Homo-oligomer: A and B are copies of this chain.
Amino acid sequence: MTATVQTTRPALDPAALDTLFRTARSHNGWTDQPVSDAEIRALYDLVKFGPTSANTQPARFVFVRSEAAKARLAPALPEGNRKALAAPVIALIGYDTKFYDRIPEVFPHNPGFRDLFVNKPEMVEPHAFRNSSLQGAYLILAARALGLDVGPMSGFDQATVDAEFFPGGTVKTNFIAAVGHGDHSKVMERLPRLAFADAAAIV
């Protein structure tokens, strides 16, 4: 046993754990309280610090807020998910399949890491999909941390959203999330969670 540096970082207080996880809920209805540019930028300024493999940050975000943009999104949503359009903002979480072109900038001590993806194109999709999903989860929890509510969903017409909102052709939409201030009267009953023994083991 050697002497060790002890961490001094404390756990969050119980109320914060509630806000992030325990009493937080996915939302289906929204108040008319808006979400400002400053709030969206504050949200990104948390999300960007979440870890990604080799710091590649493949996620690309479009925050759909204007009525005109919502009208372009509407045809891509199935009837059951159009409730999202009542939210002040719908965040589109996509991933850039050319994320590796930014590696010299975001991973400057090893710019040649880019070649790994150029030479093994089959690695691109899993890397971008996994890490943009992580970043999407950071967005969900960062929004809650800022006092916002979220309603994530994956049922939509991906090709339409890609073409309308990521017209460069290299970004694919991963999932979308309504963001705003939830109408707590419209939250559904909490669904069952798997018990530890059904989902986890200590070996």
A residues lining the B interface (CB < 8 Å) = 1-2, 4-7, 9-13, 16-17, 19-22, 24, 26, 31-33, 37, 40-41, 44-51, 53, 55, 57, 59-66, 69, 102, 105-108, 126-127, 129-131, 133-138, 140-142, 145-147, 149-150, 152-154, 165, 174-175, 181-185, 191-194, 196, 198-203
B193 touches A48 (CB 8 A): yes
A145 touches B63 (CB 8 A): no
A60 touches B146 (CB 8 A): no
Chain B residue numbers with a CB within 8 Å of A65 are 202-203
Rounded to whole Å, the gap between the CB of A86 and the closest CB of chain B is 11
B203 touches A57 (CB 8 A): no
Rounded to whole Å, the gap between the CB of A72 and the closest CB of chain B is 8
Q: Which residue of chain B has its CB nearest to the CB of A186?
A: B5
User: Known contacts A21-B46, A53-B153: does B63 contact A202 (CB below 8 Å)?
Assistant: yes
